[in-house]
Amino acid sequence: MSCEKYSDWMTHAAFGDLPAEREPELLAHAMECAACREALAHARAVHDCVDRGIESLVAGEPSPQFATHLRRRIAQESGPLRSPWMTWAPVTACALALAAVLAIAITHKRVHDRSSPSVASAVNPISAPPGAVPASVASPRNAERTARTRDFKRSAQTRAATTTRPEIIVPRGQLAAALHLSAAINSGRVDGSQLLAARENSEKPLDVKLIEIAPLDSLAPADAAERPE
């Protein structure tokens, strides 16, 4: 039993890792036990061989040409050692240039949009605020009107959720008028079908009928007597 206990100690002792307080005990046991004495000697021999074997594997110096060859290769490197900022400088420059081009393009587009009078706004009369009553206008006098507008908004939103309506392109300046018209149609104050019917009537082609004129010879004698002499 005690020999098993010292087996692990022997390994540590051979590697020089055995705690100092255990060493005397191990040595005392080795003095008494021939097998353990032999095992300890063998473990030390193996350890010695291992260490010396590994040392011999890594022993040696690079050849005298090593340094010369290394310096030549370093000299052949494309450039000298570069500071980090020099490495990133071209990348940063490219990124800045790209950002500048994008900014110019966006600004130019905005200016073009504002200056163009023919540009139309896409407005959905249902989803847009009908009448566009601003908060400042909502005075007590207009309370009834505001309430009506709110109701209309709700019903319009409900209708928009259930029905699909085409978007109407309204030129700038005519937005308010278009919204008023849309609100009037949706509230029933104006009959949209009549408006369309009137437009259809106005666009109908004229029915031209030829007038038949009788020749002079076929006039009745009574008519001839009436002619002035």
Partner 1 sequence: MDALAASFPGSAVSRDESLAREFEQRLADCPKLAYRVALGVLHNTAEAEDVAQEAMLRAYRNFHRLRDRERFRGWLVRMAFRLALDRIRAKGRRERHEHDATRALEDNQHEGNVEDLVASREFERQVAQALDALPEKRRIVMVLAAIEGYNTAEVAKLAGLPEGTVKSRLFLARKKLAESLQCLVKNTPTG
User: Which residues of the shown chain bind partner 1 in the complex (CB under 8 A)?
Assistant: 11-12, 14-15, 17, 41-63, 66-67, 69-71, 73-74, 77, 80-84, 86
CA distance linking residue 153 with residue 50, whole number of Å: 91
Please identify, using beta-carbon distances, which residue of 46 and 169 lies nearer to partner 1. Answer: 46
Of 65 and 115, the one with the shorter C-beta distance to partner 1 is 65
CB 145 within 8 A of CB 133: yes
Rank residues 43 and 179 by Cβ distance to partner 1 and give the closer one. Answer: 43
Cβ 106 to partner 1 shortest distance, Å? 34
| The token pair that represents 117 in the structure block | 């009078």
CB of 41 to partner 1, least distance (A): 7
Nearer residue to partner 1 within complex by CB, 72 or 172: 72
Task: Please report how close the Cβ of residue 24 comes to partner 1 at its closest, in angstroms.
Answer: 22
User: How many CB atoms lie under 10 A from the CB of residue 151?
Assistant: 11
What are the phi and psi torsion angles at 70 (to 5°)? -65, -45
Smallest distance, partner 1 to C-beta of residue 9, A: 13
Q: Using CA atoms, how far apart are residues 117 and 198, in angstroms rounded to an integer?
A: 31
138 DSSP assignment: -
